[in-house]
Structure formats: structure tokens, C-alpha cells
Amino acid sequence: MDLRDVPCGPGRLPVLGHGWKIWRDPVQFMVDLASVGKIARVDIGNLVVYVITDFELLHRVLVENSDAYERGLLFERIRLIFGESLIVADGQQHRDLRRMLQPAFHRTELESYAHVIKRNADALASSWQPGQIVEARSVLLDLVIANLLGSMFSHEPDTEELQLISGLIEDIGAGAIVGSVLPKRVASLPLPVNRKFLSAGTQLREYCQGLLVARRNSGDRRNDLIDILLNSSDDGSRSDKFLAEQAVTILFGGIDASTAMLTWALYELSQRPEVASKLQQEISAAGDLSPRGLDQLDYLNRFLNEVTRIHSPLLQTRRSVTTVELDGFTFPAGTDIGYSIAAIHRNPHIFADPNTFDPDRWSASRSGAKCRSFVPFSMGNQMCIGNNYSWMALQTTLHSLLSKWEFQPVTTKKLPRAMGPIPVMGRLPLEVRPVSV
């Protein structure tokens, strides 16, 4: 079947090139594509993207036939600042880089990282006073940055560094998304968003390069990501710039997603006192636990499953490198193929009442076949390299914060939205109250 026959057009569904809905409610826009078919055409300006809305087709692209695809249009933009890093690499280069970085994420390393994360979360919880209004997204962003620098880089950032990095992450995220949907000629113009994007990328790479150089000059060994990078090449042929690009991948990739997930977790708890009460009762009854012991907290993990299901990455892309066939349609090489984990996780044929936040859907008696289609960290060679680290960090942070505090909403106004791979509010004011369990 010819590409022109792929379902599309304003008569069947809203499209990016014509409408307002992607900006007003981007998640619902992606979810609605499933009503068009297993593949839906979306126009983004002059670009055409064919978005997969079916899990089995996505499995074919990312797992069964992954060599037929390369990074897509969203990665062309960030390649300007990420250079030769894991996040933009393809094929054998991607496999080599992943193999180089993987030791930093082995399960044997997670326990030492968990101690850093617990210490930081405990310190944050101890800094609050009853009745205090905290801007949750901001403090969680700083916490995630401190966690990654402390665990992966053995570095404790000061307040100035936290402010610097949080600003750089915001500018990179906004510039990456805006630039990826602009025509190439516009994306290369010296517009403020483009200048900030390029400048932020340069500054973050220089920051990471400074940490690498300082470690090399000190001669210290910390058994962390920096050591892995510095000792990854016997012939010493890899430049500091190249090594810094790998560090930037871990820092940027970990900060944005983890901050979004923690922010949504506190938001859901503030809106659902019955869920918060049940979770805090479980934490209180369990007492102090080792990092591995957090896996035993059944309701905590069900809650996190539901947070990551209902708040998932919005749109990711691949590009065919050969002619491929999907669901009866033939796509030539060079076709942009998109997929939305958010849409798949809200598919009513997989998850009953998909827009309802329900941790109990993950109970042993009810989860069933849903687990195969639950891919919050993607799958195949596109699976997040830090998935185990991220999950442990979510568990550890929530355990520490919820051991002391309840979170109450303080506004009914619509919260501003931040730009990023996982849609999230730009700010989240919450009142903290002592746990009443």
C-alpha cells in the first residue's frame, strides 16, 4: 500500500501541522492517534512522521528488526551538542558505547549509589518545617542533580553548581524540542532559543570535562562513571571532549526523566490521600530497609508502576535505513517512524480504564498480560541504560520523603507545563505536613 493511503488528515484526526491540540493536551493528542489505526500519519510543519500506536508493531521495530532503523528526527537536533555520545549513536558505535558505560549501572553498584541518594533525600526532608510551602519540582530537580553527581561522579555540587546545571538542562530540553520541529533553515538561525540551546550544551560539556580532568590530575580512583570513562581506552585515543560527551548523556538523560517522575509522584500523592495513606502505612510498618529491601514494599512498587505508566515519554523517533513493511504498509528508507510510550500505556485494550490512576491494577492477581506491554524505559537496544538506577532512585527518594511528610496541594489553578520528553508541570507548590500514621 502506498504511503498516501496511511490514515491521515483533519477529517480523521488532528495533525500537528494544522492544530492546537498537541500544545493544549499533548498526551491526549498521542492517545487519540490510536483511534486512527496501528499507524497514524502526523504532519509536523513540512515533516511527515508515521506514529506507531500498537505495541506489537513497536516490538517489531525496536526488538525484532532494530537494525533496519536508526536515530530519527528528534536526535538530529541534539547531535549538535551531544556529538558522538550514546544518546545519538547508532549501530555498532551504539553497542560499543553502551558496553563501555554499562559497568556503571551494574546491580552490584546500585547499593553504593542508594546510600548517596538516601543521604540527600533525608537531608532534604530534614530541611522542611511543618506547614512549609515547597516548590516541589524545583527542589526535586536539585535533588536529582545532586544524586547523579554524587553517585556517578563522586562530586558534591554547591548551590551555585545546582543553579547552573538546572538552567542548562532547561535550555537544552526546550531547544531540543523546539528545534526538532522547526524547518532546518529556521533551526539554524541565531534565534534566542537556538543560541541558548547551543550555549547550554557547550557549558554542560565543559562542566563534565572539568570533572574528568580534575579526577585524572588527582590520581584518585572512585570506581564510578568517571573512572570507567578515563580507563575505557587502552590506547588513550579518545579525547576529553569525547569522554565528556558520554558524561553529558548520562547527566542530561537522568536529570530530566527522574525529575519528571518524582514530580508526578508527589503530585499524585497530593491529589489522592487514600493512596498516600496506604503507602505511608506500608513504609511505617516496614521501618528501616536496605536498598534491596525496598523491592519488598509491594504497594510502593505498584504505585511507581502506575506513576510511570500514566506519565510516560510522549514521542520518540526512529528512521528506516532500508525499505520496511509494517502492518501492510511499505515505507522506503529515510522514513521517520515515531512511537509514543504514553499512548501505548493508555491503550484501553491493554489497560482497563487507562486514564484512571489505580496502583491496584498491578496486584499479582490483576497484572497478567499487561506486564509485557509495560515499557516505561522503552525496550530493545533503545532501553534506557540507567533503568535499574532510575527505579532504585525513585524507590529510595520516596521512601525517605514519605517517612516524614505528607503533601497537600495549595492551588486549584492550572499549573504551567514544562517542555521535556515526559510532559510535566513547570512548577508544583505543595504544603508539607508531618506524617500522621
pLDDT of 122-165, one tens digit each? 999 999 999 999 999 999 999 999 999 999 999 999 999 999 99
pLDDT for 402: 96
Asked if residue 414 is part of any domain, the answer here is no
Query: Closest Cα partner for 264 from 430, 434, 114?
Result: 430
Asked if residue 340 is part of any domain, the answer here is yes
Asked if residue 136 is part of any domain, the answer here is no
Q: Which residue intervals of 182-239 are DSSP H helices?
A: 184-187, 192-218, 225-230
pLDDT for 6: 41
Asked if residue 346 is part of any domain, the answer here is yes
Residue 3 has pLDDT above 80, yes or no: no
pLDDT for 8: 40
Pick the residue with more confidence: 39 or 190?
39
pLDDT for 304: 97
- C-alpha distances out from residue 5 to 1, 13, 55, 331, Å: 7, 14, 21, 12
pLDDT 10s digits, 50-73: 999 899 999 999 999 999 999 887
Confidence of residue 180 (pLDDT cuts 50, 70, 90): low
pLDDT for 9: 36
Pick the residue with more confidence: 381 or 277?
277
Total tally of structural domains belonging to the chain: 1
Cell of 157: 555540587
pLDDT for 191: 81
> 340, 314 in Cβ contact below 8 A?
yes
Average pLDDT over all residues of the chain: 87
Asked if residue 318 is part of any domain, the answer here is yes
Residue 161: half-sphere exposure toward Cβ, Cα within 13 Å: 16
d(CA 66, CA 78): 21
- C-alpha distances out from residue 8 to 3, 40, 245, 326, Å: 10, 6, 39, 16
pLDDT for 305: 96
Q: Which CATH number do you get for residue 5?
A: 1.10.630.10
pLDDT for 97: 92
d(CA 78, CA 197): 9
d(CA 109, CA 307): 25
Domain limits for position 352: 1-83+313-375
Residue 45 has pLDDT above 70, yes or no: no
Strand pairing of 429-434 and 133-135? antiparallel
Asked if residue 14 is part of any domain, the answer here is yes
Confidence of residue 17 (pLDDT cuts 50, 70, 90): very low
pLDDT for 173: 84
Which residue do the cell numbers 500523592 mark? 269
Asked if residue 335 is part of any domain, the answer here is yes
Query: Closest Cα partner for 416 from 263, 195, 187?
Result: 263
Cell of 8: 491521515
* 223 SS3 class: coil
Longest dimension (CA), the chain: 65
> 119, 393 in Cβ contact below 8 A?
no
Asked if residue 122 is part of any domain, the answer here is no
Residue 117 has pLDDT above 70, yes or no: yes
Residue 105 has pLDDT above 70, yes or no: yes
Residue 183 has pLDDT above 70, yes or no: no
The percentage of the chain sitting over the pLDDT mark of 90, rounded to a whole number, equals 57
pLDDT 10s digits, 345-402: 998 888 989 999 999 999 876 655 567 899 999 999 889 999 999 999 999 999 999 9
Q: What are phi and psi of 406, to 5 degrees?
A: -105, 155
